[in-house]
A and B are shown apart, each in its own frame.
Chain A
Amino acid sequence: MTRTWSNAPAYAEVVRIGIRSMLAYRTRFFFSALQIIVQIYVLRVVFTSVYAGQGSVDGITLRTTVVYLTLANLQGFFSSSFLDYFIRSRVREGKIASELARPVGFLGQMLALQIGSTLAMLPLLVVAFPLAWLVGGMSGPASAGYGALYAVSLALAYVIIVLLGLIMGISAFWTLETTGIAMIYSLVAQFFAGALVPLWFFPGPLRVVANLLPFQAMGFVPVSIYLGLPDGGNPLAALGLQCFWVVALYLFARWFWGRAHHRVVIQGG
């Protein structure tokens, strides 16, 4: 732990690198934020259409569903991890060597990079939030208590997202590529996080699958807590589930990185 703190200036520098590399892609980033706004708009129209004037379906009102989808997508975008793409492209180009040569641990560096990139994204929230509100819908949390639990749950969700991004990125040490895998992962994760259809509308067997995967802890759990509708009615059980995934994924990431480190291939090196 002391070693970690003595390295604090080095990590702060890596955070700055993360901020700068995200800002270098600000145009792309701006357009991907627009994609999320479009997604929220389309989902709002589709669900308004299928509700067809019914007050509530499965005890959930249209308004709740729209707020759910707006928040799930907005939150998913701003808490997204770019570590998967980052590690993949560094491995492909053989540039991962420069990260490995730095006198600070790889996992710590990746975490610092991720924090930097998230910090760089946050100011856009000033524009994205009102837009999302406008094309989708927004409401306050179910109660102040649920609001506080949401903050905790969101923090846990962020850790899970980052750990999963890291694990996916590390897999590039074996596969030496590919953007295809990264794309498949992000689509599957988005779907099972419940960003496109709230999990409460999933057909039974699919819901069972979703419950067994870590992805629901990335999106569905915090948003359902915000709305006061945690699965099973107990928000603390939902937080417990998230804690389980944090520990499990952290242990796996450490072990996985240990394996990967031993088989580094520097392309073109």
Chain B
Amino acid sequence: MATAGICWDLAKAALRAQMEYRANFLVGILAGVVWQVTGFFTIWVILSRFHSIGGWTLGEIAFLYGLRLTAHGLWVVPFARLIDMDYMVREGEFDRFLIRPLNPMLQIITSRLRIAALGDLVGGVVLLSAASAKAGVDWSPVALVYLILVLIGGALAEAALQIGCAALSFRFLDTGGLRFLIDDAFNKFGGYPLKIFSGGMQFFLTWIVPMAFVAYLPAAVLLGRTGELRVSPVVAYLAPLVGLIWFVAAWRIWSWQSRNYQSSGH
């Protein structure tokens, strides 16, 4: 409980620091919104000419996109500082986290909140609500609970990949490019029903990287489209659990790799 209090205080301090640069802050949020809007806008333009992608209508794809966006915002807001992982290791900044009596990862999380990513969260929730009416999702209490769980599970799955790659920073130093590539790939693939990709690619996006569990499989469940999946519906129902397993594994790898940290010559 004391840990939670400390985390809260650190996060508040980080937030105050960020509000110092108000213009940057606002432009940052706007950039986040534009980034995501262009992604969806592209799909909208394609659909204005072609009507459906893989049999999914605009409403259904908007729902899928909203799921992905919300999960994305949920992981980026707290974990934004991971972006600086290479820098922290190279410049010896990570020292600071080792001498304070709090788990280093918790310190990284609370050292900066990415407010810009709140744009993703807001956009995601708006899209999700608007699209669920259009796509005709049946909101039973079970469906609502499942929705909340898959959003958290999706955030954990994406966070897991990023934390796992950040762990490589302790040995290889320059991992920013790889992490940005993964983030970008989630952005590029994540908005489409994955059934349009080849079987091999779908296998890869399900079992090698957990992308399918973030939005496609959960959206198929909520839209009543599990019949078209290449995996058993049970796998899709268990999506939140898959995210959790990936996250726990990644956290462990990160802690284990952090023992390889060598402070740069001070």
A residues lining the B interface (CB < 8 Å): 27-28, 30-32, 34-35, 38-39, 42, 45-51, 57-58, 175, 177-181, 183-184, 187-188, 190-191, 196-197, 201-203, 206
**Once the chains bind, are B178 and A31 in contact (CB under 8 Å)?**
yes
**B31 to A180, Cβ gap below 8 A?**
yes
Cα distance A196–B46 in the bound complex, in angstroms? 9
In Å, the complex CA distance between A216 and B192 comes to 26
Question: Inside 8 A of B24's CB, which chain A residues have their CB?
Answer: 177-178, 180
Closest CB pairs A-B (n = 6):
A31-B177, A180-B27, A180-B31, A50-B50, A49-B196, A183-B31
Which of B34, B184, B198 makes the CB contact (< 8 A) with A35? B184
Whether B54 contacts A27 by the Cβ 8 Å rule is: no
Q: A27-B177, A30-B177, A31-B180 are in contact. Are A197 and B188 (CB under 8 A)?
A: no
* B181: interface (CB < 8 Å): yes
Complex CA distance for A27 and B177, rounded to whole angstroms: 7
Would you give 22 A-B contacts (Cβ < 8 Å), ordered by A? A30-B177, A31-B177, A31-B181, A32-B180, A35-B181, A46-B192, A49-B53, A50-B50, A57-B50, A177-B23, A178-B24, A180-B30, A181-B27, A184-B30, A187-B35, A188-B34, A191-B38, A196-B38, A201-B46, A202-B45, A203-B49, A206-B45
CB distance from B89 to the nearest CB of A (A): 15
- The answer to whether the Cβ of B189 comes within 8 Å of any Cβ in the partner chain is yes
CB of B42 within 8 Å of the partner chain: yes
Contact present for B27 and A177 (CB under 8 Å):
yes
Q: Which residues of A contact B204 (CB under 8 A)?
A: none
Contact status A187-B34, CB under 8 Å: yes
A206 to B215, CA, bound (A): 29
A181 contact from B21, B31, B53, B174, Cβ within 8 A: B31
Contact B34 A49 (CB under 8 A): no
Contact B177 A28 (CB under 8 A): yes
> In the bound complex, how far is the Cα of B21 from the Cα of A178, in angstroms?
11
List residues of chain B with CB within 8 A of the CB of A188: 34, 38
Cα distance A206–B48 when bound, in Å?
A: 11
Contact, CB under 8 Å: A28 / B176: yes
Known: A49-B54, A184-B34, A201-B46. A39 touches B176 (CB 8 A): no
Nearest residue (CB) in A for B56 is: A49
B98 on interface, CB distance cutoff 8 Å: no
Measuring CB to CB, which residues of chain B are less than 8 angstroms from any residue of chain A? 21, 23-24, 27-28, 30-31, 34-35, 38, 41-42, 45-46, 48-50, 52-54, 116, 174, 176-178, 180-181, 184-185, 188-189, 192, 196-198
A45, B196: Cβ atoms closer than 8 Å? yes
Question: Shortest beta-carbon distance, A113 to chain B, in Å?
Answer: 22
B176 near A201 (CB under 8 angstroms)? no
Q: Specify the chain B residue showing the minimal Cβ separation from A25.
A: B177
Question: SS class of chain B's interface: helix, strand, loop or mixed?
Answer: helix
A39–B41 Cα gap in the complex (Å)? 16
Q: How far is the CB of B19 from chain A (nearest CB, A)?
A: 15
Residues of B within 8 A of A203 (CB): 45, 48-49
Interface contact A197-B181, CB-CB below 8 Å: no
Query: CA–CA, A34 to B35, complex, Å?
Result: 19
Q: Which one of B35, B45, B197 contacts A201 once the chains associate, using CB atoms below 8 Å?
A: B45
Q: Which residues of A contact B197 (CB under 8 A)?
A: 45
A35-B185, A47-B46, A184-B31 given; 7 more Cβ-contact pairs under 8 Å: A27-B174, A27-B177, A31-B177, A46-B46, A46-B196, A196-B42, A202-B45
Across the interface, do B49 and A57 meet the contact criterion of CB distance under 8 Å?
yes
Interface contact A42-B27, CB-CB below 8 Å? no
Q: How far is the CA of A30 from the CA of B177 in the complex (A)?
A: 8
Contact B177 A187 (CB under 8 A): no
Q: Within the assembled complex, what's the spacing in Å between the Cα atoms of A209 and B42?
A: 15
Shortest beta-carbon distance, A137 to chain B, in Å?
A: 16
Instruction: Give chain B residues whose Cβ lies under 8 Å from the Cβ of A30.
Output: 177
Say whether A34 contacts B188, CB under 8 Å: no
Nearest B-chain residue to A204, judged by Cβ: B48
Q: Which residues of chain A are within 8 angstroms of B54 by Cβ–Cβ distance?
A: 49
B-side contacts of A28, CB under 8 Å: 176-177, 180
- Give the residues in chain B near A34, CB-CB below 8 Å: 181
How many angstroms from the CA of A183 to the CA of B23 in the assembled complex?
15
| CB-based nearest A residue for B45 | A197
